[in-house]
Amino acid sequence: MNVDIPQLLPLPVLIPLIGAGFALALGRFPRMQRVVSSVSLSLVLIVAIILLVTADTEGPQVLWVGAWPEGLGIMLVADRLSALMLLVSSVVTITVLVFSARSDMDEASEKAPVSIFHPTYLVLAAGISNAFLAGDLFNLFVGFEMLLFASYVLLTLGAPRERVRAGSTYVVVSLLSSMLFLITLAITYAATGTVNFAQLAERLQGLDPGMQLVIQLMLLVVFGIKAAIFPLSAWLPDSYPTAPASVTAVFAGLLTKVGVYAIIRTQTMLFPDSTLTTPLLWVSLATMVIGILGAITQSEIKRLLSFTLISHIGYMLFGIAVGNLAGLSGAIFYAAHHIFIQTTLFLVAALIERAGGSTRLDKLGGLAANTTLAALFFIPAMNLAGVPPFSGFLGKVALVEAGVELGTWVSWAVIAGAIVTSLLTLLAILRIWHTAFWRPLPEGTERTNKTLPLGWVLTAGVLVAVTVAMTVFAEPIFEFTERAAVDIDAGAYAAAVEESIRKLGTP
């Protein structure tokens, strides 16, 4: 049976939305909700694998949705970059869904409308997929709004007062960034007559350099907020740690990376000859260093991990700012690596909280006696710190090599900052290891003695195995990300869109 691959492009968005409708209708049947959610996200995973293989072997896949005039149509595109991010996000969303089956969302059932969790989670997955596949700025905006709306609900679902207060900062910042995004859309369309990525790549070059710079800066601010780049990251440490474990894990792993993806897509396609290389390098350095300095001062594990999340976004921005093929390849690899690592660590933090009764370091100790929990934390923690031979180390080496290739004194300064940040990350991780695992339980502190649910352990174990697999198969993954970077540099995305327009006979 011949399958028209481009016709599969809407499915990663449509399947979760349809599943959300069924899950909402089955609100009184939580087991059926879980079945619907699991089947929906499993189908998305299968489609993501097909799109990844096809994009790698046959080039970008393009689908115009609706018979709209040129520049106004809804276009979905899967190239190597977007297909990879879609696959990674699919693995994470379905894994976290399995974890949530007995997570705090279910434990809080007496306080929270848990029936809303599954439909909202599926809308979040649909929004993430739409953002990765969007072929124009407006559809990217729609994807962001879908995932942000869902995130507002998940962040405050059954929340006590302190969590609502912390979540309100996230909501306000997100609304402001959405307003700025709409303003940017209006300015871009007024200046070019389109918001389509491929057409913008051509038309922006004909604009006055000053107008190009205004649009570029506005897009960077919008996506910088969503990616939590310094100094636009102050909202994150107070928002993520207060959410339920399953919600925090998917937020930390994916939501900021959607912003990183948007920066890669817009900066490389729309502004290939950017004059902002040096400022972006300085911002990447500040994001790395200030984020990790915040991390080493924390006494609560989830807040510490939230600051490391900010810090390591700086590595991805470094690769984007360098702008050469090595830098883009390293940034793509590191983004995929970091999604898995950060998600895993937040899930393990939930295991630590259940085993130790808290995530505050002054109330933890002796967890090394649980060898399974110790291993689940130690492997991704060392990976995050960039200890050889893990994928975190390999990704950082690739970014350092890209900076060396650029060869400016600013790039050398960022390389030095990246090395220092990696060492400080190791210091922060070892502090957790020493305090929570190696030292005895502090006097006067009672252990909960709760057993770890097998489903939690297996879910976290699967993600740990994935992070190890990224190390084992680092060479073919790097080869893929290098091909993705070559596609970006050669304009394969725009060429595929132009070919689709020609085939459609759009005037």
pLDDT tens string 348-398: 998 998 888 888 888 888 888 888 999 999 999 999 998 988 999 999 999
The count of other CB atoms within 10 Å of the CB of residue 394 is: 23
Domain of residue 299, residue span: 276-472
102 inside domain: no
221 inside domain: no
Residue 109 has pLDDT above 50, yes or no: no
- At residue 448 the predicted structure's pLDDT band, cuts being 50, 70 and 90, is low
- Give the residue-averaged pLDDT of 424-446: 85
Residue 108 has pLDDT above 50, yes or no: no
Q: Counting Cβ atoms within 10 Å, is residue 207 exposed (0-12), middle (13-18) or buried (19+)?
A: middle
- At residue 308 the predicted structure's pLDDT band, cuts being 50, 70 and 90, is very high
Residue 70 has pLDDT above 50, yes or no: yes
- Give the residue-averaged pLDDT of 182-195: 91
502 inside domain: no
Give the three-state DSSP class for 136.
strand
Least confident of 24-33, 160-169, 198-207, 363-372: 160-169
51 inside domain: no
425 inside domain: yes
- Give the residue-averaged pLDDT of 157-164: 63
pLDDT given at position 107: 44
State the DSSP H helix or E strand holding residue 62, giving kind and residue range, or none if neither: strand 61-65
330 inside domain: yes
Contact between 291 and 310 (Cβ < 8 Å):
yes
436 inside domain: yes
375 inside domain: yes
Q: Counting Cβ atoms within 10 Å, is residue 361 exposed (0-12), middle (13-18) or buried (19+)?
A: buried
pLDDT given at position 105: 44
Residue 184 has pLDDT above 90, yes or no: yes
